[in-house]
């Protein structure tokens, strides 16, 4: 088994936990997320709640063998859907936590990480390697 095959299951669990955690934050503390929704998109609170639901569903779905591939594709679509909020945040200099502002370059530097998350999720759209213990 290659190193990448050995890392596949722990990295799947990590992505799943991160998505569930961030999704829950959309409900526990929606204000930072609401701030970064471009006004042209409409009801920011509703969009934050909807994206939170899909983040949780995607994270949980990654953990269920039967739904893993569909969940990964769903997360890819979600990452594409929320990208305008990340761009808006960078362009407008919006702070997630105005009481603890981050340097403006951080908002710009995080934009390419969307591609990393897309690639990470894409990994789980691929069939499980032969002899993998990941089926469960």
* pLDDT recorded at residue 2: 87
Task: Output the six-digit token pair for 16.
Answer: 């799943």
Residue 40 has pLDDT above 60, yes or no: yes
Q: Is the pLDDT of residue 128 over 90?
A: no
Q: Quickly state the pLDDT bin for 41 (edges 50, 70, 90).
A: very high
For the four alpha carbons of 117, 118, 124 and 127, in that order, the dihedral sign comes to negative
Q: How many domains does the chain have?
A: 1
Please check whether residue 128 lies inside any domain of the structure.
Answer: no
Residue 115 lies in a domain: yes
> pLDDT tens digits, residue range 70-81?
999 999 999 999
- Residue 75 to residue 50: CA distance in whole angstroms: 13
**Which one has a higher pLDDT value, 107 or 128?**
107
**Cβ distance 63 to 10 under 8 Å?**
no
Predicted confidence at residue 131, as pLDDT, reads 61
> Does 133 map to a domain?
no
**Does any domain span residue 134?**
no
48-59 per-position pLDDT tens digit? 999 999 999 999
1 within domain boundaries:
no
Contact 19, 49 (CB under 8 A): no
List the domain range (segments joined by +) for residue 18: 7-123
| E strand or H helix at 134 | none
* Residue 2 lies inside a defined structural domain of this protein: no
Q: Which two tokens stand for residue 133?
A: 């213990």
Residues whose CB is less than 8 angstroms from the CB of residue 122 and which lie 6 or more positions away in sequence, other chains included: 72, 76
User: Does 133 score more than 90 pLDDT?
Assistant: no
Q: Is residue 12 part of a domain?
A: yes
Q: Is residue 112 part of a domain?
A: yes
Among 97, 89, 19, residue whose Cα is nearest residue 52: 19
């Amino acid at each position: 088994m290659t190193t990448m095959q050995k890392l596949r299951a722990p990295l799947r669990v990590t992505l799943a936990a991160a998505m569930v955690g961030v999704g829950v934050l959309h409900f526990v503390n929606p204000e930072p997320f609401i701030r970064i929704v471009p006004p042209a998109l409409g009801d920011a609170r509703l969009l934050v709640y909807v994206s939170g639901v899909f983040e949780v569903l995607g994270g949980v779905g990654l953990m269920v063998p039967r739904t893993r591939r569909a969940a990964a594709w769903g997360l890819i679509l979600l990452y594409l859907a929320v990208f305008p909020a990340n761009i808006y945040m960078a362009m407008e200099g919006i702070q997630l936590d105005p009481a603890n502002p981050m340097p403006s370059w951080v908002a710009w530097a995080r934009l390419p990480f969307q591609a990393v998350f897309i690639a990470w999720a894409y990994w789980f759209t691929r069939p499980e390697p032969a002899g993998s213990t990941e089926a469960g």
